[in-house]
C-alpha cells in the first residue's frame, strides 16, 4: 500500500484535524512506519508548512521565511536525536535525571558548616618561593609586578601588611582599564564599591580582624551574577540596563571572605560564545582570536593579570573552553556544590558556577569560600571539605584512552551528481577545514601525551579506560529545551531580535527550534541521562582521577550531563612550528590553535571529590610549572 499524503490530509480534515499540526505529525509517523517496514531509516522531510502548523499549535510565531530556513537544521537534528535514545530501550525502572522537592527551598534550611581555621596564614599551602616558614616574597618597587602573583602570595602580602588592599585594587583597576582596549572584557567597572571594600579590608586587618587568604584580594564576576547597585546585562542586547536589587549568593560569600569586587566581565550573549553587545572579548595570547566562551571576560582578564581571580559558569563548556583558550586554570565543580542563587539561569539541571584562576591551589581557596548550601538553590546539598590532608601519590589515576589516539585520515565528502558551483565550493571548504583540523589535532597530541608521561614521573601507574557508550549529544538536547523555557518570554515577545548574533547556531534560532522538542522526548532524554550518571559513577569506582583531552567533546558532554567535576589546567604553549589557526572561530570551540597559543589538559574526578581533584592538579602544576606562563601583553 502506498501512503498518499493528499488523501491522508483530506481524511484528517473530515474529522476536524486539518488546521493543526496533528495531521503533519501523523503523516510523518505513518510514513516513517511504512519506510521502516521496508527497511528504510529515513522519515518524511520537515517542511515550512509543518513549522507553520506547529507554530500555530504552540501559540508562537509566525516565523519569517529566513527564520524557518534557519530552523530546519536544528529540527532535523532534534528528530534524529530521538532514535539513539529510543534504541536504548529504557526499562520502566529508569527514572528521569531530575529531583523534585515538594517544599520551597527556604524550608529546607540546610546548615553551612565552616572549616575552623585558627590561623588562616598558617594553614594555606606554603609556596615554593617563600622565604622561610612565614616568610613572603619581597614586595617589588613597581606594584604592577605583583599582577600575576598567586592568591597565596597576595594573601600573605596583605595579611602581613606588606602591601595594602587599596594599592592592589588601584593597580588592578588601572591595568584592567588600560588593557580593556585590547581585550574588550569589561562590561561594568564596580570601582566605587571596590575602593570602599579595599579600605575596609585594610582597616580590618590593622585591627587584627584578618578573614583569610582572600581578604583584600581584587576579583571580578562574570556578568550573569547579580550585584546590587550595578547592571547585570547577561552580555545580551536588550538587557544592557537590567539590574537586580540583590547580590548573588557567591557575591555575598566573597564579600564575607573580604575579597574586593572590581568589575563585572563579559560573557557571550546569554552565555553563548565570546561575542556580546559591546564586541568580542579577545584571547590575550593572540588578539586576533576570541577568548572563547561563554566565561570570556573571566578567562581573558585572569590570563592578562587584570584580576586576582574571577568567577565563571558552565553549562556545557563555558569554563573549560575559555580556560583552555586563554591558558588559565578553571574548576567546573560538581553539580550542586556551589549555589547559583542570583545567577542567570540557562539550564536548571546543568548550570554550575566555578572559579577561574592562575592555579589549582588558588581555585582551592576560592571554592572553599563559595561552596555549600544557601537554603535557596535546591540543587546544592553538600559542603566542600578543605584543606585537604592526603598523599597524592596514593591516588588511582586513569586516562581516557581513545581521547589520546591519533585521529584517522579524513574521508573527503564526494561530489554529488549534478553538483552546482556553490555546492562544490561548500564541499571543498568543508573538506579543507576537516583536513586542517586533523593536522592541528595531531600536533596538539604531543602535548597531551607528554602530560601522561609527566604523571607517570609523579609516581602514578595509568589505567586505560573508556567512557560509557551512550548517545551524549542526543541526550544533551534537553539543555536547549530548558534554555528555551528560561527565555520563553524573549522568544514570544520578539525581543530576541535585539541579540547581536542571529545565525542558525545562535540562541534566537535555537530557542525557536527548541519549542518543537516534544515533552515526551525531553523526559526520555532525562531518563537516558540517568544511565549516564550511573555508568559514569561506576567508572570512578575504578579510579580517583581520570585524565582526558580538553578537546574531546564526548567527555565534555558526558560529564556535564552527569555532573562530575573537571579541572582544566595549562599544559604548555604551541611552538612557532604549529599549524596555522583555524580561519573560522565560533567563540565556542577551544581547539582553533595557532603558534604561541596555550594548550590544556583536563582532570576529572568522582562526584564531590573536588578537593581531591584540586590536590592532584596542584601536584601536577608543581611538577610542570605551565601555570606560571603569561601572555606577552601589557
CA-CA distance, 620 to 271, in Å (whole number)? 30
Exposed / middle / buried, residue 546 (Cβ in 10 Å: 0-12, 13-18, 19+): buried
Integer CA distances (angstroms), 579 to 342, 417, 546, 553, 632, in order: 42, 34, 28, 21, 20
Alpha helices in 184-286 (DSSP H): 191-206, 249-256
CB distance 449 to 548 below 8 Å: no
Cell numbers of 594, please? 595557532
Determine how many CB atoms are found less than 10 A away from the CB of residue 426: 13
**Cβ-contact 618, 545 below 8 angstroms:** no
How much helix, strand and coil, in percent to the nearest 5, is found in the chain? 45, 10, 45
Lookup result for grid cell 612550528: 577
**Which DSSP letter does residue 580 get?**
P
CA distance 168 to 582: 38
Q: Are 413 and 427 in contact (CB under 8 A)?
A: yes
CA 594 – CA 590 distance, rounded (Å)? 11
Q: Are 634 and 175 in contact (CB under 8 A)?
A: yes
Of residues 334, 352, 308, 337, the one with CA closest to residue 213 = 308
Residues annotated as catalytic are: 222, 294, 318
Quick one: which of 243, 223, 249 has its CA closest to 310? 223
C-beta of residue 265 within 8 angstroms of C-beta of residue 298: yes
Contact 521, 260 (CB under 8 A): no
Going by C-alpha positions, the residue among 366, 308, 382, 376 that lies closest to residue 567 is 366
Q: Which helix (H) or strand (E) holds 603?
A: strand 598-605
- Bridge partner residues of 352 (DSSP): 314
Q: Specify the DSSP element, H or E, that contains 329.
A: strand 329-332
Using DSSP, state whether 567 is helix, strand or coil: strand
Three-state secondary-structure class, residue 291: coil
Given a contact cutoff of 8 angstroms between Cβ atoms, the answer to whether 275 and 289 are in contact is no
Q: Checking DSSP bridges between strand 282-283 and strand 286-290, what pairing results, if any?
A: antiparallel
Residue 215, all three cell numbers: 581578604
> For residue 372, which phi and psi values (nearest 5 degrees)?
105, 160
Question: Which of 380, 360, 359 lies closest to 370, judged by CA?
Answer: 380
Beta strands at 218-222 and 260-265: parallel, antiparallel or unpaired: parallel
In angstroms, the CA 447 to CA 520 distance is: 44
> d(Cα 218, Cα 261) in Å, to the nearest integer?
6
Sheet containing 566-573: give its strands across. Answer: 186-189, 260-265, 218-222, 309-314, 352-357, 329-332, 566-573, 598-605, 545-549, 397-400, 462-465
Cα 83 from Cα 531, distance rounded (Å) = 16
Amino acid at each position: 500500500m502506498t501512503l498518499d499524503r493528499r488523501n491522508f490530509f483530506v481524511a484528517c480534515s473530515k474529522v476536524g484535524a486539518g488546521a493543526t499540526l496533528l495531521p503533519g505529525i501523523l503523516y510523518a509517523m505513518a510514513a516513517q512506519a511504512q519506510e521502516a517496514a521496508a527497511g528504510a531509516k529515513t522519515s518524511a522531510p520537515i517542511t515550512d508548512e509543518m513549522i507553520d502548523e506547529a507554530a500555530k499549535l504552540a501559540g508562537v510565531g509566525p516565523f519569517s521565511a529566513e527564520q524557518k530556513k534557519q530552523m530546519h537544521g536544528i529540527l532535523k537534528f532534534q528528530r534524529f536525536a530521538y532514535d539513539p535514545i529510543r534504541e536504548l530501550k529504557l526499562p520502566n525502572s529508569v527514572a528521569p535525571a531530575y529531583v523534585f522537592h515538594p517544599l520551597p527551598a527556604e524550608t529546607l534550611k540546610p546548615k553551612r558548616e565552616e572549616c575552623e581555621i585558627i590561623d588562616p596564614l598558617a594553614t594555606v599551602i606554603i609556596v615554593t618561593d617563600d622565604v622561610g616558614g612565614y616568610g613572603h616574597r619581597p614586595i617589588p618597587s613597581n606594584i604592577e609586578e605583583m599582577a600575576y602573583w598567586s592568591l597565596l602570595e597576595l594573601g600573605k602580602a596583605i595579611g602581613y601588611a606588606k602591601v595594602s588592599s587599596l594599592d592592589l585594587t588601584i593597580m588592578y583597576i588601572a591595568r584592567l582599564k588600560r588593557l580593556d582596549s585590547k581585550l574588550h572584557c569589561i562590561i561594568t567597572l564596580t570601582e566605587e564599591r571596590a575602593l570602599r571594600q579595599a579600605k575596609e579590608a585594610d582597616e580590618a586587618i590593622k585591627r587584627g580582624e584578618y578573614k583569610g587568604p582572600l581578604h583584600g584580594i581584587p576579583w571580578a564576576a562574570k556578568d550573569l551574577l547579580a550585584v546590587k547597585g550595578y547592571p547585570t546585562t547577561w552580555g545580551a542586547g536588550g538587557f544592557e540596563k537590567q539590574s537586580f536589587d540583590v547580590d548573588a549568593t557567591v557575591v555575598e560569600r566573597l564579600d564575607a571572605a573580604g575579597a574586593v569586587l572590581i568589575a563585572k566581565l563579559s560573557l557571550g550573549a546569554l552565555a553563548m560564545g565570546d561575542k556580546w553587545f559591546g564586541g568580542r572579548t579577545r584571547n590575550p595570547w593572540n588578539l586576533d582570536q576570541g577568548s572563547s566562551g561563554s566565561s570570556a571576560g573571566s578567562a581573558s582578564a585572569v590570563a592578562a593579570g587584570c584580576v586576582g581571580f574571577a568567577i565563571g559558569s558552565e553549562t556545557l563548556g563555558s569554563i573549560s573552553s575559555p580556560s583552555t583558550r586563554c591558558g588559565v586554570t578553571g574548576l567546573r565543580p560538581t553539580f550542586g556544590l556551589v549555589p547559583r542563587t542570583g545567577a542567570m539561569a540557562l539550564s536548571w539541571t546543568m548550570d554550575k558556577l566555578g572559579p577561574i584562576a592562575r592555579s589549582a591551589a588558588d581555585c582551592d581557596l576560592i571554592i572553599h569560600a563559595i561552596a555549600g548550601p544557601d537554603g535557596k538553590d535546591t540543587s546544592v546539598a553538600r559542603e566542600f571539605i578543605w584543606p585537604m590532608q592526603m598523599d597524592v601519590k596514593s591516588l588511582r589515576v586513569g586516562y581516557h584512552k581513545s581521547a589520546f589516539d591519533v585521529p584517522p585520515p579524513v574521508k573527503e565528502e564526494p561530489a554529488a551528481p549534478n553538483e552546482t558551483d556553490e555546492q562544490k565550493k561548500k564541499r571543498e571548504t568543508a573538506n579543507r577545514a576537516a583536513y586542517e583540523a586533523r593536522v592541528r589535532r595531531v600536533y596538539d597530541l604531543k602535548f597531551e601525551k607528554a602530560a601522561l608521561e609527566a604523571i607517570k614521573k609523579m609516581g602514578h601507574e595509568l589505567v586505560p579506560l573508556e567512557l560509557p557508550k551512550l548517545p551524549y549529544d542526543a541526550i544533551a538536547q534537553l539543555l536547549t529545551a530548558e534554555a528555551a523555557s528560561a527565555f520563553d518570554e524573549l522568544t514570544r515577545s520578539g525581543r530576541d531580535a535585539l541579540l547581536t548574533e542571529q545565525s542558525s547556531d545562535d540562541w534566537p534560532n535555537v530557542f525557536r527550534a527548541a519549542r518543537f522538542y516534544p515533552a515526551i522526548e525531553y523526559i526520555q532524554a532525562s531518563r537516558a541521562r540517568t544511565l549516564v550518571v550511573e555508568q559514569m559513577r561506576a567508572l570512578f569506582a575504578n579510579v580517583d582521577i581520570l585524565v582526558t583531552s580538553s578537546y574531546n567533546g564526548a567527555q565534555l558532554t558526558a560529564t556535564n550531563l552527569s555532573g562530575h567535576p573537571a579541572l582544566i589546567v595549562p599544559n604548555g604553549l604551541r611552538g612557532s612550528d604549529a599549524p596555522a589557526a583555524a580561519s573560522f572561530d565560533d567563540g565556542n570551540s577551544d581547539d582553533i590553535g595557532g603558534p604561541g597559543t596555550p594548550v590544556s589538559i583536563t582532570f576529572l574526578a568522582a562526584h564531590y571529590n573536588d578537593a581531591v581533584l584540586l590536590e592532584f592538579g596542584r601536584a601536577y602544576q608543581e611538577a610542570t610549572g605551565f601555570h606560571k606562563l603569561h601572555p606577552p601583553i601589557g
